Structure 1
Amino acid sequence: MPEIKNVLVTAYIKPENQKKLEQALAPANVTFCVPYGPGAKEKIAQAAKGKDVCILNGDLDDSILASEELKWVHCCRAGVEKSTKPEVFERGIILTSSSGRSAPALAEHALMFMLSLTYDLPMLTRAQKEHKWAVSREYSEKTGMYRKTVGVIGLGKTGSEVARLVKSFDMKVLAWDRRRKEAQNVDQVYGAENGDNLNELLAQCDYVVLSLELNDQTFHIIDAAQLAAMKKTAFLVNMGRGG
C-alpha cells in the first residue's frame, strides 16, 4: 500500500473519534469537511484537491475524482454501486465500503417488520384510536412467530444476524446463499451455485427476509414466479439493496 499523505473525511465523526482517526492515519494530514449545510458541496470539492485518500459520507462524485493523486476511496455505507464509475477501474483506485457495520440494527429492523406483520400492528393502532377491544374473529385466530419457518435470502452479515435473532423464537431457519455451507443458527442452506431451487425454499416459509447485496445475480431475484411459489399467508421483508 502506498504511503498515505493527504486525507479528506466527509463522514460525520464525533470530535473524540476524529482524534482516533487522525492517530490511525498518522503522519498523514487529515482534513474534515461537514457533508451538509450551505456551500458544503463546493467546500468539499475544494478540499478534495490533492488528496490521495477520501473517506466519504456518501457516494463518490466527480469533484472527488478530480484529484489526480486519488488512490483510495472509502464510502461509509454498505452499497457502492453508485460509486463504481469506469474511471475508478481505469485509474486503479481502491474502492471500499462499510458493509456489515449496521447488521445488528438492520436485523432488528427486519424483526420489527416480522412482528408488526404477524400481529397487524397498523390495525391494532387503528382499533386503539377507535376504542375497540375485540377487533375481529380473524385476529383472535392469529398465531405468533414461535416455531414457524423463515427463509433468509443472503447469508452475509445482516442475514446471519437475522438468523441469530429469530432463533430466540425457536424458528426453523432456511437460508439461500451463493453455495451450500454450514452456518450458525441455520437449519439448512440452499446454494445457488449448487443448482438448488429457490422456489423449493420459498414454498416452505412463513416469512422470507431478503438481505442481499445488489449484483447481476441478485437483481430482481424475486419476481412473479417466486411470489407464486410462496404460501399465500407468507410475509416478505426486503432488507436488501433497492434494485
Structure 2
Amino acid sequence: MKALITELIWSEGIEELKDQGFEVHYDENLWTDRERLLQVIPEYDAVIVRNQTIVNEELMEAGSRLKAIGRLGVGLDNIDVKRAKEKGIPVVFARHANATSVAEYVLTAILSASRPLHLASVDVRNGGWNRKKYTGGELYQKTIGLIGLGEISHRVAKRAHAFGMTIIGYDPFITEYDHVVAETGVHVKETLEELLLESDFISLHVPLTPSTEHLLSTPELNRMKPSSYVINTSRGGIIDEQALAAALQNQQIAGAYLDVLEQEPILDSHPLLLCENVTLTPHVAGLTEESQVRTSFLVAKEIGKVLKGERSLCTV
C-alpha cells in the first residue's frame, strides 16, 4: 500500500506508516502544486493532509485508488466529507490529539492580556520603569465565556478553574448531563447574548459552518464589555474580521487574540494590522512538539486500521 503526505508531518507518523508496511511519499509542499498533486494521486491508497490541501470531488475522482483520507488535525473545512462518504472513503482525523495544546494557548492569551510581561520587559530595556502602566489585573473572579462546549472547552475550563475564574458557556447542542457541564462545572447560558454581556474573556471553540460563519459580527461585538477580550483558536470566518477591526480601533472592546483568519497568511492590506490591541499568531494554537507527535502518530496508526478493515474511533 502507498500513502501520500502533502503537508508537514512529524517523523513519528512516517515511521508508523512504514512499520505497517506502507510505501510513503512525503512532500510537505505538494499542496502548493495542485496540477502535480492531481497527476500523482492516482498511485496512492491513502492521502494525509493538514488544512491547506483541498480534498474535494476533483481530487477524490483523480485518486481512484483512495481508500482513506487522513487529516493531521481536527478541522475538516478543507475536506468534502459528504462526497468522501458517498464514495466510501473514510476520513480519519486526530481526535483530541491537540486539545491540551489549544487549551494552554487560550490560557496563555488570557494571562498575556492580564499581565503583559513582554511589554513591561521592553519598557524596562528601553529605560522605563512604569509600574503604574504595567500593574495588570488578576484572573481570580474574572469570567471566561466559552462558545462551543466540546473537548477543548472542557480542558480550558479545568485550567481556568485553577485560577479561580467563573466559567460560563453557550452551546445549543449541549445538555445539563454532558460532562463539560455536569463534571467540569461550566454554567450554561441560554443565549449567546447573555454570554457576551457577562464575559471578560470570550474563547471560540466551534467549527466553521454556514450557521457559525460571522457568528461574532458588529451586533455581537457591541454587546461585549469594553474591557473584554476575544480569543479565536477555532477557524477563520467565525469572527467578522472587518467588524472586529472597527471594534478594536474604536476601543469598543479591549483586545483580541487571533490564531486563525479567513485568509491565511494575512494580507498586507488587512485592517487588523493597523490595530495595536490585537495579537496575531500563524495558526499555531494546536502546534506543540507534544501535540504534533501525538497527531502524526495517531493519524498514521488509524489510517492503517482503516485500510486493514479494522474499526477506528477517529473517523468522521
Question: What's the RMSD between the two structures over aligned residues?
Answer: 2.9
Shift of 1:87: 5.1
Match of 1:111 in 2: 107
After superposition, residues 12-51 of structure 1 pair within 5 angstroms as 12-14=9-11, 17-24=13-20, 26=21, 29-36=22-29, 45=38, 47-51=40-44
Asked if the contact 2:5/2:26 (under 8 Å) is kept, the reply is: yes
Q: 2:73 aligns with which of 72, 77, 85?
A: 77
CA distance in 1, matches of 2:13, 2:67: 23
**Structure 1 unaligned regions, length at least 5:** 191-195
Does the CA-based 8 Å contact 1:212-1:240 persist in structure 2? yes
TM norm structure 1: 0.78
Partner of residue 168, structure 2? 174
TM-score (norm 2): 0.62
* Deviation of 1:171 (Å): 1.0
How many aligned residue pairs are there? 227
* 1:97 Cα deviation after fit: 2.5
Q: Specify the code of the residue in structure 1 equivalent to 2:14.
A: Q
Q: Is the 8 A contact 1:8 1:51 kept in 2?
A: yes
Taking structure 1 as reference, are residues 215 and 96 closer, same or farther at Cα in structure 2, changes over 3 Å only?
Answer: farther
**CA positional deviation for 1:160:** 1.5
Report the Cα distance in structure 1 between the residues aligned to 2:121 and 2:208, rounded to whole angstroms: 35
Q: Which residue of 1 aligns with 2:256?
A: none
The equivalent residue for 2:289 is: none
1:163 to partner: Cα distance: 0.9
**Residue deviations 1:20-68 (CA, integer Å, cap 9, x gap):** 33444x5xx432323238x987775554223232222452445564121
User: What is the match of residue 193 of structure 1?
Assistant: none
8 A Cα contact 2:48 2:72, kept in partner:
yes
Match of 1:145 among 135, 139, 145: 139
User: Letter of the aligned partner of 1:180 in structure 2?
Assistant: T
- Residues 31, 47 of structure 1: 8 Å contact kept: no
Q: Choose from 44, 48, 56 the match for 2:49.
A: 56
Instruction: Describe the SS at the equivalent of 2:43.
Output: coil
Moved more, 126-135 or 69-78: 126-135
1:206 Cα deviation after fit = 1.4
SS at match of 1:49: helix
Unaligned runs of 5+ in 2: 238-316
Structure-2 residue corresponding to 1:186: 185
Identity across matched positions, percent = 24
Return the offset for 1:130: 2.5
**2:155 & 2:47 partners in 1: Cα distance?**
30
The Cα of 1:145 is off from its aligned counterpart by 0.5
2:87 counterpart (91, 95, 119) = 91
Alpha-carbon distance between aligned partners in 1 of 2:103 and 2:112, rounded to the nearest angstrom = 14
> Residues 43 and 30 from structure 1, CA distance in 2 versus in 1: closer, same or farther, beyond 3 angstroms?
farther
Cα shift readout 1:180-203 (whole Å, capped 9, x = no counterpart): 33423333123xxxxx21111222
Residues 53 and 78, structure 2, Cα contact 8 Å, conserved in 1 = yes
Letter in 2 for 1:69: R
